[in-house]
Amino acid sequence: MNIPSELINDENLNKLLALNNSHVIEIVSRYADLCRPAKITVITESPEDAAYVRAKSLENGEETALAMAGHTYHFDGMADQGRDKAVTKVLIPAGAKMSRAINSMDRDEGLKEMDEKLARIMAGKEMFVAFFSLGPTNSRFSIAALQLTDSAYVVHAESLLYRQGYAEFRWLEGFNNFFHFIHSAGELNENRTSKNAGDKRIYIDLEGNRVFSVNTQYAGNSLGLKKLALRLAIKKSHDEDWLCEHMFVMGAKPEGKNRTTYFTGAFPSACGKTSTAMIPGQTIIGDDIAYLKIGADGRAYAANVEQGIFGIIEDVNPIDDPLIYRTLTSPREVIFSNVLIRNDKPYWLGMGEELPKEGLNFSGEWREGKTDEAGNEIKPAHKNARYTIRIGELENADPNLDNPEGVPVDGIIYGGRDYDVSPPVVESLSWPHGVFMGAILESETTAAILGKPEKVHNPMANIDFMVVPLGTYLKNHLKFGSDLDRQPKIFATNYFLKDADGKFLNQKVDKKVWPDPRRV
């Protein structure tokens, strides 16, 4: 297949040809022909390309500059403020089986529908072709990833969250061992949000190592390398006998001792994962997704898939999260999403200061008391408002953040939002017992997921991203542990236990002894 010459100039075409990979050319050609953008721009690792993406996002109105240098804000539409489980489906071939908890559909039917939705969807817009690495570059953890999108914001956000991967594609030497993602925000409203968000679709095609997402901008749905790549990597990990997990990676440094012990931890969204990874005095490698593989010494090693944080900003304040707060309130490259803007300054819920009574937010011009179509009061900022930064910008970034060998794991923590059953801390009796504790994890859903809050069974905090039968997933965990010469200890935690009066347990004790469970 050939890319139509009227869509791509020689400079951009040469960037693709330099990869010497016919699979990349075929993918770009197919979706250029189907989506019919006005032009194609190829983004490499050059500073000039990075500056072009940032400038385009501002020019397109997907981001707007704030008063502080490097800071921008982005809004998603009213119906596009979280991961949409109802329209996120795994495409499975006829006759294949999937666990009932996994939302799936016939592969042929899904691909046909996606072709129909993508037809001419980029007309008049620019298609960006960008290359990234999941995991440290030039590493046994790294997976090359190709992103096609009509959103400069998506490419900009991914450039903060993920390592550049143009060189990774050169090292593929023509093979098709990579993930690819096709995204379109679709038709846009005047405020540059997806006009047809009610018709969004997110389809995961395991056989094609690809994900489609249309009519959505929220990063959890549109950034291919975020939770969409997590699903593809879970399938890959089970084919290759390693673990792909919804986990932070952090270093614990005992006071007065010159050593670091590394932990991973799986928590559902908005249940303390980032805050745990950011405990004062410790170091952070990652706050969301980890790959775990067995090293030559028989130990488990973990690497952060990402190089950045797409974190919930609610309650980030100078008392509870001083390191993140200082980072977000000083000059550097930061994207704020779905916060309140007043006089070119961002405001969010729980930031530790009084919020303005009016401003601009995801609903448009906002005043205190404004309601939505259902009569519900619209808060000044969304509860799922976010910030996007590079981990390297944090004072407590671990020196092994980009170590291609990963870090040795000595402990694994599972935790959820359980108000009335789970004890604060439990240590497993063995690896199989620890897998059991992770498998029975229950948690209340939060604003990170669209829909009414409810308590759900969420094994390893990974059920939303599961693409293999749950039994297969758990068997792989058991096998992984049995293959280790030195197994990490496994713990379960619950920061949200309440008493019979509905009060958090920390309200009964000295906070110097028991930290606020909502913030740890």
Active site residues: 271
Question: Do the strands 126-134 and 163-164 form a parallel or antiparallel pair, or are they unpaired?
Answer: antiparallel
Sign (positive/negative) of CA torsion 9, 15, 18, 22?
negative
Distances (CA, A) of 194 to 251, 266, 417: 40, 32, 32
Q: By the 8 A CB rule, do 204 and 181 touch? A: no
Transcribe 297-314 into DSSP letters.
TSBEEEEES-SEEEEE-T
Backbone angles phi, psi at 383, to 5 degrees: -65, -20
Strands (E), 55-98: 64-65, 71-74, 88-92
Cα–Cα distance for residue pair 249/391, rounded to 1 Å: 12
Please report which residue ranges of 297-406 form alpha helices under DSSP H: 322-328
CB 128 within 8 A of CB 136: no
DSSP state of 82: S
Separation CA 192–CA 460 (nearest Å): 36
Smallest CA-to-CA distance from 224 within 167, 148, 152, 160 is with 148
Amino acid at 481: G
Q: What is the 3-state secondary structure (H, E, C) of 423-469?
A: CCEEECCCHHHHHHHHHCCEEECCCCECCCCCEEECHHHCHHHCCCC
Q: Which residue has the tokens 């910030």?
A: 387
Cα 395 from Cα 444, distance rounded (Å): 32
Across-strand partners of 71? 334
CB count in 10 Å sphere of residue 398: 23
Q: Cβ atoms within 10 A of the Cβ of 116, count?
A: 10
C-alpha pair distances (Å), 209 with each of 115, 180, 206, 212: 17, 7, 5, 11
Nearest to 398 by CA among 209, 255, 210, 253: 253
> CB of 268 within 8 A of CB of 458?
yes
Give yes or no for a contact between 129 and 42, defined as CB atoms under 8 angstroms apart. Answer: yes
